[in-house]
Amino acid sequence: MRSIHRTIPAALGVALLLSSGNHALAQTATVDVTVQKQYVRGFGGMVHIPWAGDLSAAERNLVFGNADGQLGFTVLRIAVPDGNTSTSSYVATAKAAIAAGGLVYASPWNSGGDMISSQFASYADHLESFVSYMKGQGAELYGISVQNEPDYGDWKHWSATAVHDFIVNYGDKISTKLMTAESFQYRKNMYDQLLNDEKALANWDILGAHTYGTSVRDFAYPLFDQKGVPAGKERWMTEHYTDSNTDANQWPNALNVATDVHNSMVEGEFNVYTWWYIKRSYGPINNGAVTKRGWCMAQWSKFVRPGFHRVDATKSPTSGVYLSAYRGDSDVVIVVVNTNSSSKSLTVGINGTSVSSYDRFTTSGSKSLANEGKVSVSNGSLSLSLDAQSVTTLRGTGSVNPSGSGGATGSGGATGAGGSTRADAGRDGPGASGTGGRAGPDVSADARDMGSSGGAEGTGGVVATGGTTNAGSGGSSATGGTSAGTGASAAGGDGGGGQVSGGGIATRTGGAQAGSGGASGAGGASQGSSTGAGVDSSNGCSCQTGRPAGGAEALTLFFALLVLAWYRRRVAVHRQSPAEGSQV
């Protein structure tokens, strides 16, 4: 009888080993092009001529063209002049973007101080004068925002109520699409009043947000889903960069951009993704050439074109792998980011399209949007091996079935890329001073250093006049939480609890985010529990929690049940035999 007891654990162990081995060999994701999410307007970046100069004619072709070796950007953000708006500075670059099929929008910075209601009328005239001038020059703006970062401190300060009141009373004076003020940290209290007041809601078109220091768990905005989406509003990510201290060609640091784009499109459901300076040592182009960060963005911008929709897909089929999918009238595009230091095998089941093969393009440490031939579809799925620390785009053309209504969040679990910590040392602006960034023309620093991959940038902190010291130190949370006002310091980026706002950056109160939910490390913090083929919340580990058993899993289960049935029968036989039972 003892031999029987020894046999059953061994047999079950073999069954479990077979099961775990099967999971290691192949992970499965699903894409359903019939389930539609948000509309995609495009991807692009900023030209701020007073601080970083303009693009040359050759650089405009490089950025907005979509031929081989070009980025295919379709979004350009420019600055509204603080004084005289009748300036031709931005006209040539704006025209180039529009001629290539892109759109142009503008954001005002303005001088410091508080915005008060007595200034509303003249301010509305100021915005409208720039709109009118650009239209008259043949470079019509798609939209204009109320204010760049009203809650940051260096620019004109607006309270949430002031933004609301301006839009209610003067929003209809602007003759192009009006964007809300753009919170530097996507603080929802800057937008809640605009969504909850029907009169305000009628007077704006686009929610603009920056995601500096925003935890991936805070990318979602249920109130916008409830009230903004049905009203036809869009949400745009209008400024972000992962760090400014690292050269844009440094790998795998540059891969953080791909994770950032993924999170913005999937977790934030943004219609637009806008990088900070297009031309910079840490930007998409530098010295007239596309950088690794630029190629990471191009994995989306060249293939996911204006008018596409994101569609339902397993967003994290295994730990460190992030997937999103998009469809046009006849195209299906799948983008997969592998942040792991080893290659990963992936099988993708695709529903709702007759596309039979996909062109594959990869950016990695040794590849820059390399065309790697075709991947064939067999029985509705395809298989591929993902290069270590890479981003891969699959583009197929064929029949695409009609899609359903959009707006909902995609299936699967979610994990962020670590959130980001912001070492605010001013950003190439007049009068900014700091020690953590790259010098711009006639200014001292570019330091909005995000440390997006777990807070790697900002270890030790960057001190800024009028800003904060923010020590990323691996992206772990602030123990106990810290309220940081002007010139204060914050240890870490993502604490639990609410935001405490002061004159500078706000941190969170409530202590470190360890254990359940996961600390924000190099792979990012897990965001709660998940169902489906997603990411579990326990310490940020990946867990396949809802995927139906395939053929190998079913065979393993059958084997285990067979062994168990055999064991029970042997026990029954032994219990019926007194002689054998006396030996037990």
pLDDT in tens, 154-180: 899 999 999 999 999 999 999 999 999
Q: Is 58 exposed, middle or buried (0-12, 13-18, 19+ CB in 10 A)?
A: exposed
Q: Quote the crossing angle between the two packed helices 57-64 and 91-99, to the nearest 10°.
A: 30
> At 533, is the secondary structure helix, strand, or coil?
strand
pLDDT in tens, 190-248: 999 999 999 999 999 999 999 999 999 999 999 999 999 999 999 999 999 999 999 99
pLDDT in tens, 279-297: 999 999 999 999 999 999 9
User: According to the model, what pLDDT value does residue 98 have?
Assistant: 98
For residue 578, name the pLDDT band (cuts at 50, 70, 90). very low
Residue 435: pLDDT above 80? no
User: According to the model, what pLDDT value does residue 480 have?
Assistant: 34
In the numeric block, the tokens 């009118």 are attached to: 132
Q: How far apart are the first and last CA of the chain?
A: 6
pLDDT in tens, 368-395: 999 999 999 999 999 999 999 999 999 9
Residue 332: pLDDT above 70? yes
Higher-confidence residue of 508 and 324: namely 324
Q: Which of 147-156, 331-340, 522-531 has the lowest mean pLDDT?
A: 522-531
d(CA 63, CA 73): 6
In contact, 1 and 580? CB cutoff 8 Å = yes
For residue 27, name the pLDDT band (cuts at 50, 70, 90). confident
Q: Which residues contact 292 (CB under 8 A, 6 or more apart)?
A: 248, 249, 250, 251, 254, 363, 368
In the numeric block, the tokens 């209008």 are attached to: 238
Residue type, 112: G
In contact, 451 and 420? CB cutoff 8 Å = yes
Q: Could you please report the per-residue DSSP string of 390-442?
A: EEEEEEEES-BPPP----SPPSS--B-S-----EEEEES-TT--BSSS---TT
State the average pLDDT over residues 469-483: 34
Q: In whole numbers, what is the pLDDT of the chain averaged over residues?
A: 76
Task: State what percent of residues in the chain have pLDDT above 70.
Answer: 64
pLDDT in tens, 240-271: 999 999 999 999 999 999 999 999 999 999 99
State the average pLDDT over residues 405-428: 38
For residue 112, name the pLDDT band (cuts at 50, 70, 90). confident
For residue 568, name the pLDDT band (cuts at 50, 70, 90). low
What class has domain 41-243+257-274? Answer: alpha beta
> At 553, is the secondary structure helix, strand, or coil?
helix
User: According to the model, what pLDDT value does residue 198 have?
Assistant: 98
State the average pLDDT over residues 507-529: 34
Q: Could you please report the per-residue DSSP string of 477-503?
A: --TTB----TT-EESSS--SS-EE--S
User: According to the model, what pLDDT value does residue 519 have?
Assistant: 35
User: According to the model, what pLDDT value does residue 367 have?
Assistant: 98
Task: State what percent of residues in the chain have pLDDT above 90.
Answer: 62
Higher-confidence residue of 446 and 64: namely 64
State the average pLDDT over residues 356-365: 98
Most distant CA pair in the chain: distance in Å? Answer: 106
The β-bridge relationship of strands 143-145 and 489-490 is unpaired
User: According to the model, what pLDDT value does residue 111 have?
Assistant: 78
Query: In DSSP terms, which residues pair with 526 in a beta bridge?
Result: 415
User: According to the model, what pLDDT value does residue 14 have?
Assistant: 43
Enumerate the active-site residues: 149, 239
Residue 181: pLDDT above 70? yes
Most confident by average pLDDT, 150-154, 268-272, 403-407: 268-272
> Which candidate, 19, 6, 25, 14, places its Cα nearest to that of 383?
25
d(CA 387, CA 344): 7
pLDDT in tens, 290-328: 999 999 999 999 999 999 999 999 999 999 999 999 999
